[in-house]
Amino acid sequence: MSPIFEGVLVLLPEVSRYDEGISAVVWRVRLLGCWQLKRDGETVQVGLRQQRLIAALALLGERPRQFLSGLLWPDSSEAQASGNLRAALFKISHQLPGLLDDRTEPVGLSGSVTVDLHEFRSHLAGAGAAGPADVPADFTDVLRSAELLPGWYDDWVLFEQERLREQRVLVLESLSRRHLLDEDTERALDAARSAAAIEPLRESAQRLLIEVQLRAGNAAGARRTFIDFEARLWEELGVEPSDGLRSLLGPVAMATVRKITTADPAEPGRSRAARPDPRPRPRLSPIAMRPA
């Protein structure tokens, strides 16, 4: 696997799918890091309404017109949403000829369009199956940074963002474990930290990070990781880490952790347990980070 890196984004060489010698427009849609459309390597300026439609087709594939109008304009009447879609399709077909498939129903991108997200997911699958030595050293940095359409908050985008985030974390956790088996604690630590940074409330990522730190002989760092995780869980969810995570540090280390974490920084001298809080403090399941 030999991807080309452009910023935080994995990009494959922009090669035409057509036989050499045949002139054809090559379109490329970028969804990771930001929205961008290129035609034969040159950036094309596109209006926001058209951007959203192109992004939906790139993410979801071809879809019926009625589906797209309801997806992109959920708060509009059916007639208004259909009109918005027709206007967007008209502008794309006239300003960006060849980007859309020739069919009018369903609507889809043409075969000359490549999408960085699809290629990135292929790399994710390859990284999950490859040996640690076959994965580029800087791929961990790309996994950590490859956010899907940051700043977009449509429900259909949020779902895909969460899906990709989960895929990235799973690959990072897998890479970390395999590096650990190879006694490469440096790369194992880098991958584990990246997974924990993407999903700071995910206990499996924090557990892996603590395990790597302990394997590397950094017991103090492992304790600090636990303390920070425990504080964040309580602050954001009102829950505690699982007993399984606590047990990683051992009884002696946990005694130190409990002593440190009982002090409330907002109210010196007052223990966390003494704070008035009517809520029960549920334990979390170790993987899903939801109350057990």
pLDDT digits (tens, 9 = 90+) for 235-252: 999 999 999 999 998 764
Per-residue pLDDT at 129: 67
Rounded to an integer, the average pLDDT of 159-183 is 94
pLDDT tier at 86, thresholds 50, 70, 90: very high
pLDDT surpasses 90 at 67: yes
Please give the mean pLDDT across all residues of the chain.
83
For residue 102, give every residue at least 6 positions away whose Cβ sits within 8 Å of its Cβ, in sequence order, or none: 110
Query: Which amino acid, 149?
Result: L
Per-residue pLDDT at 282: 53
pLDDT in tens, 2-25: 333 343 344 443 433 434 444 588
pLDDT surpasses 90 at 291: no
The domain segmentation of the chain, as residue ranges, is 1-13+25-167, 200-292
pLDDT surpasses 60 at 143: yes
Using CA atoms of 273, 276, 279, 283 in order, give the dihedral in degrees to the nearest 10: -10
pLDDT in tens, 166-176: 999 999 999 99
Which pairing describes strands 263-264 and 267-271: parallel, antiparallel, or unpaired? antiparallel
Per-residue pLDDT at 21: 41
Rounded to an integer, the average pLDDT of 244-272 is 60
In whole angstroms, give the CA distance from residue 16 to residue 90: 26
Per-residue pLDDT at 36: 98
Using CA atoms of 248, 250, 253, 257 in order, give the dihedral in degrees to the nearest 10: 60
**Fold that domain 1-13+25-167 belongs to in CATH:** Arc Repressor Mutant, subunit A (1.10.10)
Per-residue pLDDT at 127: 79
